[in-house]
Amino acid sequence: MDLTLKIWRQAGPRDKGKLVTYQVEDISPDMSFLEMLDVLNERLNAKGEEPVAFDSDCREGICGMCGLMISGQAHGPEKTTTCQLHMRSFSDGETITIEPWRAEAFPVIRDLVVNRSAFDRIIQAGGFISVNTGSAPDAHATPVPKPNAERAFVAAECIGCGACVAACPNASGMLFMGAKVTHLSELPQGQPERMARVVSMVSTHDAEGFGGCTNIGECSKACPKGIPQDVISTLNRDLRMALSSGH
C-alpha cells in the first residue's frame, strides 16, 4: 500500500518543530506501524536525510517505551500499543498524521521522542512498599483474597506509556497514578503506607504540571492495557480519607 505521512519533526527541545509530509510506497499490510517507520527511515537515510527519531524497545506491547499520536489518537485506531499496531488497520492511499505525546509534563526531546521522567518522580513520591531486601516474611504468611489479588493485578498491568496523559484534554496523569494507588491499596502489604502514599503522589503529580481529572474518560479508552477508570475513584476515595484523617 501507498501512504502519505505527516510527521512531526523537531530537531531539539528548543526547536519549534513542524509537520513534514513524506510519501511511502510499497508498504506491506503485515508490517507493524513501527516497521513501516523503519522502512521510511531506511529510505530517508539512503537519500541523505536524517531519520525520524521515535522510541521503542520491546515491540511486544509490554515495556511502554513506544507511543505516538496517530491521526489524533494515542497509539492509533486499535486498542493496543503503537508497536503492536499493524498496517492492515490502515487503507491504501490514507494520510496519517504522526505526532509525539503532547503534554506540559512530557517535553519533546526530538521529533517523536518525549521525556516521561515525571512518571518516575510520581513513583518516587510513594509508589512502593517500604520493605528492605531480606526482611520479608514467608510468602504464605499473609494470604490475599483472590478478588483483591485480581484487582491489584489488573491495576498493576499499567505499562507507564503515557497514552492516558496524551489522550486527556487536561493532560492529567490520574489514570497512571490511580493504577499504582489501586495496585498497592488492594494488598495487605500496602496498607501501612496507604494514606501517606496517596497524598505524596498526588502533590508530586500536580507539581509536575499534569492537569486535573474532570471524568472525561478518554484515558481509559486510550489505555492499551484497558486500565479501568474506577482506579481513579479508588485514588480519590483514598485521598479524601487521608486528608480527613489529617495526612
Partner 1 sequence: MTDTVQTPDTFGLWTLGDPIADTKAPGGPIENKWTKRKFDAALVNPANRRKLSVIIVGTGLAGGAAAATLGEAGYHVKSFCFQDSPRRAHSIAAQGGINAAKNYKEDGDSVYRLFYDTVKGGDYRARETNVYRLAEVSANIIDQCVAQGVPFAREYGGLLDNRSFGGVQVSRTFYARGQTGQQLLIGAYQALERQVAEGTVEQYVRHEMLEVIVSGGRARGIIARDLETGEIETHLADAVVLASGGYGNVFFLSTNAMGSNVTATWRAHRKGAYFGNPCYTQIHPTCIPVSGDHQSKLTLMSESLRNDGRIWVPKRREDCDKDPRQIAEADRDYYLERIYPAFGNLVPRDIASRQAKNVCDEGRGVGPVVGDFRRGVYLDFADAIKRLGKSAVEAKYGNLFDMYARITGENPYEVPMRIYPAVHYTMGGLWVDYDLQSNIPGLFVTGEANFSDHGANRLGASALMQGLADGYFVLPNTIRDYLAKGPFDTLDANAPEVAAARTSVQERTQRLLAINGDRSVDSFHKELGHIMWEYCGMERTQEGLLKAIDLIRSLREEFWRNVRVLGSADTLNQSLEKAGRVADFLELGELMCIDALHRRESCGGHFRGESQTEDGEALRHDDQFAYVAAWEFTPEAADGIPGGGMGAPVLHKEDLTYEFIELKQRSYK
20 binds partner 1 (CB under 8 A): no
Shortest approach of partner 1 to residue 181 CB, angstroms? 12
- The distance of Cα 200 from the centroid of its chain, to the nearest Å, equals 21
Segment 152 to 211, residues that bind partner 1, using CB under 8 A: 152-153, 156-157, 159-160, 183-184, 187, 189-190
Query: Whole-number minimum distance, CB 215 to ligand FES, in Å?
Result: 27
Query: Residue 81 binds which entry of ligand FES, partner 1, none, with Cβ cut-offs from 5 to 8 Å by kind?
Result: ligand FES
Stretch that binds partner 1, among 68-76, 125-133, 207-215, 233-241 (CB under 8 A): 125-133
| Cell numbers at 40, concatenated | 521510511
- Closer to ligand FES at the Cβ: 223 or 235? 223
DSSP 167-198: H-TT-B-HHHHHHHHHHHHTSGGGSTTHHHHH
Picking from 26, 50, 48, 30, the residue whose alpha carbon sits closest to that of residue 39 is 26
Grid coordinates given for 201: 503522589
Give the range of 58-66, 205-213, 215-223, 234-242 binding partner 1 by CB under 8 A. Answer: 58-66
**Is residue 226 a contact residue for partner 1 (CB under 8 A)?**
no
**Which grid coordinates belong to 144?**
490475599
Sign of the CA dihedral 159, 164, 166, 167?
positive
227 lies in the site for ligand FES, by CB under 6 A: no
CA distance 49 to 60: 29
Least distance CB 39 / ligand FES (angstroms): 17
- Give how many residues touch partner 1 by CB under 8 A: 76
Least distance in angstroms from the C-beta of 208 to partner 1: 14
81 binds partner 1 (CB under 8 A): no
Q: How far is the CB of 82 from partner 1 (least distance, A)?
A: 13
Window 49-88: contact mask with ligand FES (x via CB under 6 A) = -------xxxx-xxxxxx--------------x-x-----
Residue 30: how many other CB atoms lie within 10 Å = 9
Cell numbers for 41, please give them: 527511515
| DSSP E strand stretches across the chain | 3-9, 18-24, 69-70, 73-74, 95-99, 108-110, 113-114
Give the DSSP H or E segment for 244. helix 230-244
Distance CA 151, CA 147 (A): 6
Which positions lie near ligand FES, rule CB under 6 A?
Answer: 56-59, 61-66, 81, 83
